Structures are given as C-alpha cells and as structure tokens.
Structure 1
Amino acid sequence: MLYAILFSLPPTTTTVRALLGLHIAAGSLALLAGLIPMLGRKGGPVHVRAGRVYVYSMLVVAATAVLLCLLQPLTLSRLFLTGIAVLSFYLSFTGWRAARQRSAKPASSDLVLSTVATLVGLGMVGIGIALHAVLFAFFGGLICLFAGQDTWVALRGTAAAPMPWLLRHLTRMGGSYISATTAFIVVNLGRWLPAGAPSWINLLGWMAPTILGSILIARTVRYYKAKLTFRNTAPEKPAISSLE
C-alpha cells in the first residue's frame, strides 16, 4: 500500500497537511530552543533541557521531511529541504552526544547511526547526481564527510579523538543551527520579499546564515580553545604545608 502512494500525494491531502504542520511546528520549536543555549548561561540545567528539546525537535523535522519527500512528487526544493533536515539532525545529535559523554570520540553504540548516515549520504549524492540536484548531492556529501569521519573514529576504538569534546559539541550544534536557519530563511524569503525584489537578495538568504554563523562559531571555538589551553598549561598551585 505504501508503494502505491509513494511520490503521488498532492499537498491538499490530510496526511501531507498533517506532516507539514508537524514539520513546521517542530522546526519553529527547534529554532527557538536553540537560541537558549547560545544566548544563555552555559552548562546549567536550562541549557541542558533546551539542548535536548532542540535535538528531539530536529529528529521530528528530519523524519517528517523524509516522509514528505517520499509521499509527494519529487521537486528540487523538496530534495533540498530533505537533505538539509537530515544533515541538521545528524549534526545536532552527534554534538549533543559529545556533551553527554564528555568525549569527542563516538561511542560504539553510535556506530550504527553513523554507518546508516554515511549510507544515506552516499544515496543522496547518487540521487542528486542522477537528478542534477546539485544541492541535494552537496548535503549528501556533507553527511558523508561528518558521518564517515565518525564511523572511522568509532571503528578505531581507543584511537585519539580529533578534538576535545567541548569543541566538537560547539561546532556540531552550531553547524546544525546554521543549516536549520538557512532552510527556514530560504523557504520563507519569497513570502517576505515584495514582488520584483532583486535576485541577489535570494542569494544573500543562502549565504548570510553560513557566513555569520561560521564567524560566530570560529570566535567561540577560539575562546574556548584558549581556555582549554590555559587550563592545561597553567602551573599547579603548590600544596600548602601543614607546618605553615
């Protein structure tokens, strides 16, 4: 029965409308929840709860995006949304896991997810090339890059991780939020702009989140990297003698 409705449902059907409503609600919640850890106090219970809400919301966003892509006729924009949703979820999940485990090396239990994500990324690259959907193939390549690296590190067992867990958490969660924000802007930009708006504004909508977000992530990483370096190189305070 599922095969009979693949790529065939119009947007007016109850199923599609319900999935789209859930997708929009989860995406809106993710964008709001993601602001709390970025702007609020780091490491506290509010930070942790908001981060958990963000990751779970991105899971719903990715799942509904995949279902909407499978149930409706294929379009380049739908492929783009699916690719960016899957990428955003994977980055958020791995960044969240790094903070929970206090380790930059993926746990063996994460190997299944990273392997599946790598295969999904490869499939996206193949479909993107076949359908000339460059963006879909691009996001598939990014998934392969991150998930493939995680798979390799997990398979190496006790090998040293490429970065401290805090930096992995910052870069992955930041990259996820950039991806989600880009999707939100690109989808809604046409509704916000007046008729006859110059085309370069659409290009700006694509580029601005990545440029600004990358600058902020780089500054944050430098700040925490300096703190970690100082903490590791600072001389230990001499023990106070009991005779003094």
Structure 2
Amino acid sequence: MLITFIHIATGTVGLISGAVAFYALKGSSIHKRSGLAFVVSMLLMSATGAVIAALNSSQLSVIAGALTFYLVLTAYLSVQRTSLKIRYFNIIMLVFGGVVGLSGITIGIEGLNTPDGQIDGKPAQVAVVFGSVALIATLLDLRAIIWGSAKGKHRLLRHLWRMGFALLIATVSFFLGQSQLIPEFLRHFLILLMPVIAVIILMVYWIFRVQYFSFKQSR
C-alpha cells in the first residue's frame, strides 16, 4: 500500500535527519536544514502510522502516532515568531493534545484491568505514560497561551524535549518494535538498544547544556 511506503520512507528520513539535528550545533545552518527535514518527515510518518494503526485496530500505536505528531508540531511552533496565526495553531494543538492525553490514560487504565494487563500485546503502562506526557505538554501549552510564550532558553528547552521525546518514540518503535525489518545478524537486543540509548544521551546532553551553559545561537 502507498500509505505504508510513505510511512516507512518518511520514518527512515525522520530517524536520519533527527540524529543529524540533535548532533549539530543548535542554531547552525545544518541544524536548521536537518531540523526542517525532521519536522516534515516526522509529521508524515506519525500521521500515516496513526492511520495504519487505526485500520489495524492497534490502539497503542494510534496513541503513539498522535502523540508524536503533537510533540513535533508544537515543538516547531514554539520556535516560530509569535503571531495571531501561531496562537490559533497552538490553541488547536492544545485541544488535540488534551484528547490524546485523556485517550492514552483511559486506554491504559482499561488495559491494566484486563487479565494480562496488555494492549495490543504490549504493557498497558506504555499507554498511561504516553497519555501522561501528552497531558503534561498540554498543561504547559495552556500556561503559554495564558501567560505568553516562553522566551530565551525556556523556549529552546520546550523545543528540545518535545523533539527529543518524539525522536525517542520513533527510535524505540523502529529498533525495538519492528526489529523484524532489521537484518537478522543485527537483531541482538543490546545492538537494537544502542540507538535508543544514544537518543536519550543526546537529548539529556542538549537539555543540560541549554539549561546550564550559554552558547551562541545563529539566527
């Protein structure tokens, strides 16, 4: 199916461009170019992934796709110049994020009350985590709409953690959730876990650097 091909192709581009964007100096030209490629590819990947999951009645994957879409788009909006148009987009995404959050927690609780405590063959706690992340991000969105957008390093931190968590979801989904697509000789758990650990390390590094150290950001 065409939608499956788009999902795989954009997911591949998203993982590569995301790795480059996180590794590159924030604000540099390579960061901006790879970051834009990451945003576009991840929005397409998560949207098509959610549709495919819905067609296959995979509730957890729908939540994962919707959460990834929400985090990437709001992360992108957070570093755009404030305008009435951006404000409207933020309000729309606030509602979207709230729906994703409540749905994730509801599905997770329902899964926990089943005999095996799973959803689609995976631990129901994952849905609760996804829903909680969405609700936390939504509350931060609400605060930004009421009190004004974050500025300076706080705006960058908002951008970083959302992009980082979205990349983490994509990395886990591919390397651990779809390991059958990886050559058999590489399907050792520790090997598959390495990209996930690398994303976590890069995300923590940049958040720590922005929080505690200043650096020159090109415009």
Same fold flag (TM > 0.5): yes
Aligned AA (2:167): Y
* Correspondence for 1:145: 136
| CA gap 1:129/1:57 in 2 versus in 1, 3 angstroms | same
* Correspondence for 2:116: none
* Correspondence for 1:127: 107
- 2:44 aligned with 1:60: yes
Q: Is the 8 A contact 2:67 2:97 kept in 1?
A: no
Question: Separation in 1 of the partners of 2:92 and 2:19?
Answer: 30
Following TM superposition, by how much is the alpha carbon of 1:31 offset from its aligned partner in structure 2, in angstroms?
A: 1.0
| SS class of match (1:62) | helix
Following TM superposition, by how much is the alpha carbon of 1:41 offset from its aligned partner in structure 2, in angstroms?
A: 4.3
Question: Separation in 2 of the partners of 1:166 and 1:227?
Answer: 13
* Correspondence for 1:242: none
TM-score (norm 1): 0.68
TM-score (norm 2): 0.75
- 2:141 aligned with 1:157: no
2:206 aligned to which of 220, 240, 243: 220
Q: Is the 8 A contact 1:81 1:183 kept in 2?
A: no
2:169 aligned to which of 174, 179, 190: 179
* Correspondence for 1:71: 55
* Correspondence for 1:116: 96
| CA gap 1:212/1:29 in 2 versus in 1, 3 angstroms | closer
Aligned AA (1:226): Y
* Structure 2: runs of 5+ lacking an equivalent: 113-118
**Aligned residues: CA RMSD:** 3.2
| SS class of match (2:79) | helix
| SS class of match (1:91) | helix
Aligned AA (1:188): Q
Q: Deviations over 1:193-239 (max 9, x none)?
A: 759x88xx38x85x6555543333222222233333x99xxxxxxxx
Following TM superposition, by how much is the alpha carbon of 1:25 offset from its aligned partner in structure 2, in angstroms?
A: 1.0
| CA gap 1:45/1:190 in 2 versus in 1, 3 angstroms | same
1:45 aligned to which of 29, 37, 55: 29
Q: Is the 8 A contact 1:37 1:50 kept in 2?
A: yes
* Correspondence for 2:80: 100
Q: Is the 8 A contact 1:153 1:161 kept in 2?
A: no
Aligned AA (2:174): F
Q: Deviations over 1:60-95 (max 9, x none)?
A: 1222122112222x2xxx333332222222222222
Aligned AA (1:214): I
| SS class of match (2:144) | helix
Ranked by relative contact order (alpha carbons within 8 Å, sequence separation 6 or more), the top structure is 2
Q: Is the 8 A contact 1:51 1:96 kept in 2?
A: no
| SS class of match (1:187) | coil
Following TM superposition, by how much is the alpha carbon of 1:182 offset from its aligned partner in structure 2, in angstroms?
A: 0.8
Question: Separation in 2 of the partners of 1:89 and 1:83?
Answer: 10
| CA gap 1:50/1:163 in 2 versus in 1, 3 angstroms | closer
* Structure 1: runs of 5+ lacking an equivalent: 1-16, 232-244
Following TM superposition, by how much is the alpha carbon of 1:159 offset from its aligned partner in structure 2, in angstroms?
A: 8.1
Question: Separation in 2 of the partners of 1:222 and 1:123?
Answer: 31
| SS class of match (1:100) | coil
Following TM superposition, by how much is the alpha carbon of 1:108 offset from its aligned partner in structure 2, in angstroms?
A: 5.2
